[in-house]
Amino acid sequence: MTEYTDLYSPIFAIAQAAELAEMHPQTLRQYDRIGLVQPQRTRGNTRRYSMHNVNQLRRVAKLSFEGMSLAGIMRVFELENQVARLEGRVRELERALADAKTANDRRVFAAASHGEIVSVVRGKRIRQGEVLVWHPKNYL
């Protein structure tokens, strides 16, 4: 099992999660109702908390103790989730850019008979009348 699976596996009943988070079960129910910490549900519609949920509950308690309102805590969680999504998107775009740069390094450019520059894919034959004008080192 991976760490991700362990962290997000819904294994705790509400009483266990409340004990781990040092809260009353009714508090967990209230947080679920307002959408602050939402556990997964079983087929019988009972709540099942993951270790991630328990960590969230502990953070709620800490931030609340420091004077932050529940609405403020909810906003912090939303912004953290948005940052995580955006960081993932940035990594995805960085990979795409790196792939595009690598692909560009492998292209050969030729001048078509009308004078326009065309990109020639590796292994593709250049048509008669086209002249090779540039290629990167070690390409051919």
Whether residue 108 contacts residue 119, with contact meaning beta carbons closer than 8 Å, is answered with yes
pTM: 0.65
Taking the C-alpha atoms of residue 20 and residue 10, their distance in angstroms, rounded to an integer, is: 14
For CA atoms 40, 44, 47, 50, give the dihedral sign: negative
pLDDT band at 120 (very low <50, low <70, confident <90, very high): low
Whether residue 60 contacts residue 73, with contact meaning beta carbons closer than 8 Å, is answered with yes
Top-confidence residue, 2 or 45: 45
Whether residue 28 contacts residue 37, with contact meaning beta carbons closer than 8 Å, is answered with yes
Whether residue 17 contacts residue 49, with contact meaning beta carbons closer than 8 Å, is answered with yes
Q: How confident is the model over 46-60, as pLDDT tens digits?
A: 999 999 999 999 999
Taking the C-alpha atoms of residue 109 and residue 19, their distance in angstroms, rounded to an integer, is: 67
Picking from 62, 40, 64, the residue whose alpha carbon sits closest to that of residue 50 is 40
Q: How confident is the model over 3-34, as pLDDT tens digits?
A: 666 899 999 999 999 999 999 999 999 999 99
